[in-house]
Chains A and B, each alone.
Chain A
Amino acid sequence: MSTSAQPLLEVRHLKKYFAMGQGIKFRKKGTLKAVDDVGFTINKGETLGLVGESGCGKTTAGRTIVRLYEPTAGEAIFEGKNIYSQDEGGMQEIRRKIQMIFQDPYSSLNPRMTVGDIIGEPLDIHGLAKGKERTERIYELLNIVRLNPEHANRFPHEFSGGQRQRIGVARALAVQPSFIIADEPISALDVSIQAQVVNMLEELQEKMGLTYLFIAHDLSMVKHISNRVAVMYLGKIVEVARSSELYKNPLHPYTKALLSAIPIPDPDVEAERKRIILEGDVPSPIDPPAGCRFRSRCKVSVERCKEAEPEFLDAGGGHMVACHLVK
């Protein structure tokens, strides 16, 4: 996997706030800052892993990039064009190049459509193929994800979880995209099936020169597939580094805690392993702690963490981290 330093997608200061308690009901009002000033770059042909706890905003970030949600502020430059300033026609162009794979293979396929129609829908929407050509393209896509052409007339409920996820992949590939956002594509699958799907994604990347944003919470799987990893906490990115670097030398206390939670498949080592156990829950994103957001659960926080938000700085060699304690 060659990573030429040519950026395919550049996200800058992306913010997505949800207004709470709107309308006529008198509820507690506030703003849920799901994604708060997030920025990252993804180079052509590489895989960026995005990890973090549930509710930290990784899914929202992914969905905001494809404009399933309109961003509150910020920009996303894809192939030199800002996604958020596109009109309907320009957006349609971009939608052909950015596709998504969803987490739950049971709800991401319309139960009333045959697999052939599900995979054929992108072709219909973008007017890419009709009639016989369309059928052939569907068979070809099924073949790419290692399903049989006879499966085209079946309904989604007849397939297993792994097979359904591969149908989802085939649907995403139908428009020949260059960038795929995989939103926890394996977390709903059986462990034995996870590797099957991940390996297929890697193979496809090599064959078709795809670029991935791989959203997940399983660190070992992310390490396996990603070139670089971004760690997110409560709507902000706290650390970005090449994946080998991040796993060897985590700088942010949150990353350290996350990494210490990965079990090691060796009982002797596992028994010796010391875990950093985070206390308490993730604070509410409606009213996040002032200063550093992680300070309420951080074992090494100091006075300065309360006062100022740490800047996101290069700690050497492109290893970016947002922590006051890192020099």
Chain B
Amino acid sequence: MELSPGLFQPVARQGSEAEAIVRPSVTYGQDAWRRLKQNRAAMFGLVLIIVLLILAAVGPYFVPYSYSDQDLDRTGEGPSWQHLLGTDLHGRDQLVRILYGARISLTVGIFASLINLTIGVVYGGISGLAGGKVDNIMMRIVDVLYSIPLLLYVILFMVIFQPGLQNVLLAIGLVYWTDMARIVRGQILSLREQDYVLAARTLGARQWRILMRHLVPNALGPIIVTLTLKIPEAIFTEAWLSFVGLGVSAPMASWGSLASDALSSIRSYPHLLLFPALAISITMLAFNFLGDGLRDALDPRQRR
């Protein structure tokens, strides 16, 4: 083959053509979603959570009994076509009581975690951004809080205030933020040395702006993961509190109080304990699966 200089002419290119980006715009969220979809356990968890939410919201309307209706001919019965999950010792339908319990458990789980999130992000954010002595003092306070099992604070809170849904929610929300604060602070400490934060500083951005526009959005991955893993923790704590009688009070039923009531008759009516316990386990599992999946999906190092 003959090579001539004519073969080596550069291709004429327009300036703006060279700058064009051909790849479709993929945002961070789309990218994470794509990775999450590939994780079967996480998708299983997500579907379960959605089903649970729907059941808790509309489920009770499809059961022809209210949570306090008694069918005195059928006390303590096993599952049947009239009562899919059987009845308790007072003849109340077990299914509808578990569905109402789901409302309480999910409410506590989600709202308590949101309180955790708010306190944790603000506390950890200030601590990490301030650094130095302020950071040292704020984190030692967290260490002191953390040195005693957090459940003790919740019990103390519940003993002082009246048991009830609202107080359970507040108690868990106001106590369990320490993990979130630590994680946010750690993220902020490493992110605040990034050049884009320095650039914002040279532009004269205020601390609050730097925290909310630059630091927290970049720490969002670990924050979401922690949030997802905090929800089952709060659900379990509520169940535990109700189980020992410090949680929601009768006639409201939470999974914990259902399990607690069933305990006295565990030998004769094991199914009364089985179903609330199953509900707690499945929910915890679903949130943990989703949390683990999100951890992988949101990790920027996995980005391809």
B19 proximal to A (CB < 8 A): yes
Set B21, B28, B200: member contacting A151, Cβ < 8 A: B21
The residues of A that contact B19 with a CB separation of less than 8 Å are 146-148, 151, 163
For the A-B complex, the count of residue pairs with Cβ-Cβ distances under 8 Å equals 82
A91 proximal to B (CB < 8 A): yes
Contact present for A121 and B205 (CB under 8 Å): yes
A interface footprint on B209-230 (CB within 8 Å = 1, 0 otherwise)? 1000110011010000000000
A interface footprint on B19-45 (CB within 8 Å = 1, 0 otherwise)? 111010111100000000000000000
Contact present for A110 and B203 (CB under 8 Å): no
Q: Nearest chain B CB to A150's CB is how many angstroms away?
A: 8
The residues of B that contact A168 with a CB separation of less than 8 Å are 199
Contact present for A111 and B218 (CB under 8 Å): yes
Q: Nearest chain B CB to A187's CB is how many angstroms away?
A: 13
Contact present for A154 and B198 (CB under 8 Å): no
Contacting B at CB under 8 A, from A94-114, are: 95-96, 98-100, 102-104, 107-113
CA distance A63 to B218 in the complex (A): 24
Known: A100-B199, A110-B214, A112-B28. 15 other contacts (CB 8 A): A95-B203, A108-B199, A110-B218, A111-B28, A111-B218, A111-B300, A112-B220, A121-B213, A125-B203, A146-B16, A154-B21, A155-B25, A158-B21, A159-B21, A171-B203
Contact present for B27 and A155 (CB under 8 Å): yes
A24 (CB) vs chain B CBs: closest residue: B136
Contact present for B21 and A125 (CB under 8 Å): no
CA distance A100 to B201 in the complex (A): 10
Tier of interface size on chain A: 35 or more
B interface footprint on A104-146 (CB within 8 Å = 1, 0 otherwise)? 1001111111000000011001100000000000000000001
Contact present for B28 and A92 (CB under 8 Å): no
A159 (CB) vs chain B CBs: closest residue: B21
B6 proximal to A (CB < 8 A): no
Q: List 14 A-B contacts (CB under 8 A).
A: A100-B198, A110-B196, A110-B200, A112-B28, A112-B220, A121-B213, A126-B203, A126-B204, A146-B16, A147-B19, A155-B27, A158-B21, A158-B23, A175-B203
Contact present for A107 and B28 (CB under 8 Å): no
A32 proximal to B (CB < 8 A): no
Q: Which residues of A contact B (CB under 8 A)?
A: 23, 63, 66, 68, 91-92, 95-96, 98-100, 102-104, 107-113, 121-122, 125-126, 146-148, 151, 153-155, 158-159, 163, 168, 171, 175
The residues of B that contact A121 with a CB separation of less than 8 Å are 200, 203, 205, 213
Set B20, B205, B220: member contacting A148, Cβ < 8 A: B20
B9 proximal to A (CB < 8 A): no
The residues of B that contact A122 with a CB separation of less than 8 Å are 203
Set B26, B198, B214: member contacting A102, Cβ < 8 A: B198
Contact present for B195 and A108 (CB under 8 Å): yes
Label chain A's interface by main secondary structure.
loop
The residues of B that contact A171 with a CB separation of less than 8 Å are 199, 203
The residues of A that contact B203 with a CB separation of less than 8 Å are 95, 99, 121-122, 125-126, 171, 175
CA distance A170 to B28 in the complex (A): 23
The residues of B that contact A66 with a CB separation of less than 8 Å are 202
B166 proximal to A (CB < 8 A): no
B23 (CB) vs chain A CBs: closest residue: A158
B265 proximal to A (CB < 8 A): no
B24 (CB) vs chain A CBs: closest residue: A158
CA distance A154 to B203 in the complex (A): 22
B118 proximal to A (CB < 8 A): no
Q: Nearest chain B CB to A237's CB is how many angstroms away?
A: 23
The residues of A that contact B214 with a CB separation of less than 8 Å are 110
Contacts A110-B218, A159-B21: A125 and B204 contacting too (C-beta < 8 A)? yes
Q: Nearest chain B CB to A125's CB is how many angstroms away?
A: 5
